């Protein structure tokens, strides 16, 4: 196993303006963390009480390894917490959603409009025979109806399974089958980079040999009547005609499943991660309010797709449960030009912006003249998620987008954790490359494979030692797989990431523990070498793999994408090798460097090193259903 290796830590820190902490909902991080530690159950109960419960819980947690139950006996409804209470409590005319389509079209929904739309569609779903506990699969573009469909499911207690609309028929089929979806909701088309994606025909293909599916709901993007091709199909709007606008929220048990979300990460079979009602909502509400510090006048924009956990937690459930104004868009970051996103920030006065390192690196590559064309002064907080935010990307993001004043929340978390777990809370000094510290509520550690904490500066395995409300409850139809998260080290939750901590307890996540290369007995994280490469001015993106080497066991092979204005050359290769040598040391020097136009990535933006490796070795890459192109 690959732990226990030394990492060179950069000591640079950024100190945020004290007003951030002074005005934050969390206040002093250390104080808040100590408060949590002194009474964990009391801490979570206090957070849970900020939501509306139909019936209060009898017991805060019931933890019997590896199964946790939270807010036992409590009853609530997620859509009622995201809509009804705001409609009743003075936010009825506040904007809930601002949508911008790829072709410039805009739509807005106030909380009251959204509330009514959700109830209408919820009643339509009921009329189709959808009942509490049934699974509804959503395969939709990022349009307001997508959010409406999610909330309508939660209103009637249906379990949604959202499949990112960039997946193909085979991947969709596997997920429909595994979840036994009764209804699939889709649209005639999705739009991406000016091209139409025939979502509905992909669904037609995917439902073959999926006997659980009874109905397919088709949304017309242009809201014109949908021509129906089969008995199974119904029109998203036609089924709402004449339905009642009243749909009381279903009383859900805190532990009733809320959704299944398939994650494939970078390896193997997709896993259906199951999240439940009470704990998940408490976690997303808490982190939106106290970590993202969402306030009444904030305009929140998370650029993820609703097909990923980031979209579930920080486009929909977290921000709407606190009553925020949320921007959603289907625009791609560089279409028609790399200024579209910055234009959205200027247009809507976005105050909180949350994106991924892969996007930040793309913007670095095309140059700061694009963001500089727009007024980004509304921004207050900027965030990052999905991969390590390498120091160069941090510095660029901080300077060019945050104008040297917005704190960066580099949030480490997973589909399985439901909410962010490690970050640098507002007011704490920021250290580029480090995600930060465990948020109050989370007990994390970096340990060796025996569970012994490793000293500062030494790499180890990231673990979470205590259960938390929004943790996944199981892997759908795969208890064994669920157990594997909990039975590796001391009955703790083993994350699968390598990490290192500094003297102040800041955690740097280096990448998946399987992304490790052993060169002549020394462990190297791919992320470390990649970070060194992208620190070079010519390099926009880098991926590193280990290849067999007679002498050293493994050698480092790098694949790089150049910044605009640079050309591949032997001279550049030598320069890059020298650069890695000077940054990390001779052990990390790549034995080969290949120039690429782009790197193979999952649709959620993670580099698929496995595909590069298979190509290099001339072997079958295995399941590549998550590959972007």
Residues that bind ligand WT7 (CB under 6 A): 263, 265, 308-310, 385-388, 410-415, 435, 495-497, 509, 512, 604
Provide, rounded to whole angstroms, the least separation between the CB of residue 291 and ligand WT7: 13
**500: helix, coil or strand?**
strand
Q: Which is nearer to ligand WT7, 141 or 605 (CB)?
A: 605
- Which residue is associated with the tokens 């120091």? 391
Residue closer to ligand WT7 by CB (options 123, 411) is: 411
> Measured from the CB atom, is 3 or 250 closer to ligand WT7?
3
Residue with tokens 């569970």: 451
Provide the minimum distance between the beta carbon of 164 and ligand WT7 in the complex, in angstroms, as a whole number: 11
Q: Pick the closer one to ligand WT7 by CB: 373 or 449.
A: 449
Among residues 385 and 400, whose Cβ is nearest to ligand WT7? 385
The nearer residue to ligand WT7, 74 or 265, going by C-beta atoms, is 265
| In contact, 155 and 122? CB cutoff 8 Å | yes
Torsion angle in degrees (nearest 10) through CA of 115, 116, 119, 125: -120
Confirm if 518 and 612 have CB atoms less than 8 A apart. Answer: no
The least CB distance from residue 373 to ligand WT7, in Å, is: 28
For residue 578, what are its two tokens? 């020298």
Question: Is the Cβ of residue 249 or residue 440 nearer to ligand WT7 in the bound state?
Answer: 440
3-state secondary structure of 158: coil
Beta carbon of residue 97, minimum distance to ligand WT7 (angstroms, whole number): 21
Least distance (Å) between residue 152 CB and ligand WT7: 24
Looking at residue 584, the DSSP 8-state letter turns out to be T
**Closest CB 509 distance from ligand WT7, rounded Å:** 4
Question: CB of 160: closest distance to ligand WT7 in angstroms?
Answer: 17
Contact 419, 413 (CB under 8 A): yes
- Residue 79 C-beta: closest distance to ligand WT7, Å: 23
By DSSP bridging, strand 444-447 and strand 459-464 are antiparallel
Judged by beta carbon, residue 267 or residue 574, the one nearer ligand WT7 is 267
The distance of closest approach from Cβ of residue 606 to ligand WT7 in the complex, given in angstroms and rounded to an integer, is: 7
* 573-605 core/surface letters (b: 16 or more CB in 10 A; e: else): beebbebbeebbeebbbbeebebeeebbbbbbb
Q: How far is the CB of 356 from ligand WT7 (least distance, A)?
A: 8
Which residue number, 308 or 506, has a Cβ lying nearer to ligand WT7? 308
To ligand WT7, the closest distance from the beta carbon of 529 in angstroms equals: 15
- Using DSSP bridges, classify how beta strands 215-219 and 233-235 pair: parallel, antiparallel or unpaired: parallel
Short-list 555, 559, 554, CA closest to 599? 559
CA dihedral 566, 570, 571, 575 (to 10 degrees): 90
**What is the closest distance, in whole angstroms, from the C-beta atom of residue 385 to ligand WT7 in the complex?**
5
Residue positions counted in the chain: 629
Report in angstroms how near the CB of residue 308 gets to ligand WT7 at its nearest: 6
To ligand WT7, the closest distance from the beta carbon of 130 in angstroms equals 28
Identify which of residues 84 and 410 has a Cβ nearer to ligand WT7 in the complex.
410
Identity of the residue, 272 or 339, whose beta carbon is nearer to ligand WT7 in the bound complex: 272
User: For ligand WT7, which is the closer residue by CB, 548 or 622?
Assistant: 622
Instruction: Kindly state the smallest distance separating residue 604's Cβ from ligand WT7, in Å.
Output: 6
- 152 vs 454, which CB is nearer to ligand WT7? 454
In this complex, which beta carbon is closest to ligand WT7, that of residue 135 or of residue 435?
Answer: 435
Q: Tell me, letter by letter, the H, E, C secondary structure of 274-335.
A: EEEHHHHHHHHHHHHHHHCCCCCCCEEEECCCCCCHHHHHHHHHHHHHCCCEEEEECCCCCC
Query: Residue with structure tokens 């021509």?
Result: 227
Do residues 98 and 347 touch, judged by C-beta distance below 8 A?
no
Alpha-carbon gap, residue 254 to 78, rounded angstroms: 10
Residue closer to ligand WT7, measured from CB, 431 or 512: 512
Separation between Cα atoms, residue 371 and residue 378, nearest integer Å: 13
Q: Dihedral of the CA atoms 218, 221, 225, 226 (nearest 10)?
A: -40
Which residue number has the CB closest to ligand WT7?
415
DSSP β-bridge partners for residue 70: 61
Distances (CA, A) of 502 to 2, 11, 361, 432, 434: 19, 9, 25, 12, 9
Q: Would you say 340 and 334 are in contact if contact means Cβ atoms under 8 Å apart? A: yes
Tell me the two tokens of residue 144.
Answer: 């307001």
Nearer Cβ to ligand WT7, position 282 or 309?
309
Helix (H) or strand (E) holding 96: strand 95-100
Cβ-based burial of 85 (10 A; exposed 0-12, middle 13-18, buried ≥19): middle
> Are the beta carbons of 406 and 384 closer than 8 angstroms?
no
Q: How far is the CB of 414 from ligand WT7 (least distance, A)?
A: 4
Strands (E), 433-538: 437-438, 444-447, 459-464, 474-475, 493-501, 507-512, 516-519, 522-525
- Please enumerate in sequence order all residues whose Cβ is within 8 A of that of 282, keeping only pairs 6 or more positions apart, or say none: 44, 47, 48, 51, 70, 71, 469, 470
């Amino acid at each position: 196993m690959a732990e226990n290796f030394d990492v060179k830590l950069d000591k640079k820190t950024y100190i945020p303006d004290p007003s951030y902490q002074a005005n934050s909902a969390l206040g002093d991080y250390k104080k808040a963390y100590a408060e949590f530690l002194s009474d964990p159950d009391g801490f979570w109960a206090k957070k849970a009480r900020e939501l509306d419960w139909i019936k209060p819980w009898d017991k805060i947690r019931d933890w019997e390894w590896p199964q946790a139950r939270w807010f036992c006996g409590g009853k609530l409804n997620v859509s009622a917490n995201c809509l009804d209470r705001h409609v009743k409590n003075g936010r009825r005319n506040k904007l809930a959603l601002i949508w911008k389509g790829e072709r410039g079209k805009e739509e807005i929904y106030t909380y009251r409009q959204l509330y009514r739309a959700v109830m209408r569609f919820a009643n339509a779903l009921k009329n189709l025979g959808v009942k509490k506990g049934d699974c509804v699969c959503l395969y939709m573009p990022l349009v307001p109806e997508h959010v409406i469909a999610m909330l309508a499911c939660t209103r009637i207690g249906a379990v949604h399974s959202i499949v990112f609309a960039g997946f193909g028929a085979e991947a969709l089929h596997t997920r429909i089958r595994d979840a036994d979806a009764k209804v699939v909701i889709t649209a005639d088309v999705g739009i991406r980079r000016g091209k139409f994606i025939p979502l509905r025909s992909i669904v037609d293909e995917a439902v073959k040999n999926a006997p659980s599916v009874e109905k397919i709901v088709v949304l017309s993007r242009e809201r014109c009547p949908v021509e129906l091709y089969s008995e199974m199909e119904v029109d998203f709007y036609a089924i709402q005609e004449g339905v009642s606008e009243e749909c009381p929220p279903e009383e859900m048990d805190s532990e009733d499943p809320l959704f299944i979300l398939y994650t494939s990460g970078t390896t193997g079979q997709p896993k259906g991660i199951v999240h439940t009602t009470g704990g998940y909502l408490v976690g997303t509400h808490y982190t939106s309010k106290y970590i993202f510090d969402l306030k009444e006048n904030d305009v929140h924009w998370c650029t993820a797709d609703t097909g990923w956990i980031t979209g579930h937690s920080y486009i929909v459930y977290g921000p709407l449960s606190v009553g925020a104004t949320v921007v959603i868009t289907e625009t791609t970051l560089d279409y028609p030009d790399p200024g579209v996103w910055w234009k959205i920030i200027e247009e809507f006065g976005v105050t909180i912006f949350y994106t991924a390192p892969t996007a930040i690196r793309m913007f670095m590559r095309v140059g700061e003249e694009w963001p500089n064309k727009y007024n980004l002064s509304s921004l207050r907080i900027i965030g990052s998620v999905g991969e390590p935010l390498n120091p160069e990307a941090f510095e660029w993001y901080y300077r060019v987008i945050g104008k040297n004043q917005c704190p960066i929340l580099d949030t480490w978390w997973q589909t399985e954790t439901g909410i962010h777990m490690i970050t640098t809370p507002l007011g704490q000094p920021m250290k580029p490359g480090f995600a930060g510290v465990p948020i109050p509520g989370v007990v994390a550690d970096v340990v060796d494979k025996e569970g012994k904490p490793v000293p500062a500066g030494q790499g180890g395995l990231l673990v979470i030692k205590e259960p938390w409300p929004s943790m996944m409850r199981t892997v759908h139809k795969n208890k064994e797989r669920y157990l594997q998260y909990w039975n590796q080290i001391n009955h703790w939750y083993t994350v699968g990431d390598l990490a290192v901590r500094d003297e102040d307890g800041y955690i740097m996540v280096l990448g998946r523990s399987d992304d490790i290369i052993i060169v002549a007995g020394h462990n190297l994280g791919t992320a470390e070498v990649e970070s060194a490469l992208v620190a070079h001015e010519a390099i926009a993106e880098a991926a590193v793999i280990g290849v067999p080497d007679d002498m050293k066991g493994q050698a480092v092979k790098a694949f790089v994408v150049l910044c605009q204005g640079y050309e591949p050359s032997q001279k550049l290769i030598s320069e890059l090798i020298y650069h890695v040598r000077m940054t990390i040391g001779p052990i990390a020097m790549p034995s080969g460097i290949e120039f690429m136009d782009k790197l193979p990535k999952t649709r959620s933006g993670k580099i698929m090193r496995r595909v590069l490796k298979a190509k290099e070795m001339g072997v079958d890459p295995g399941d590549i259903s998550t590959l972007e192109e």
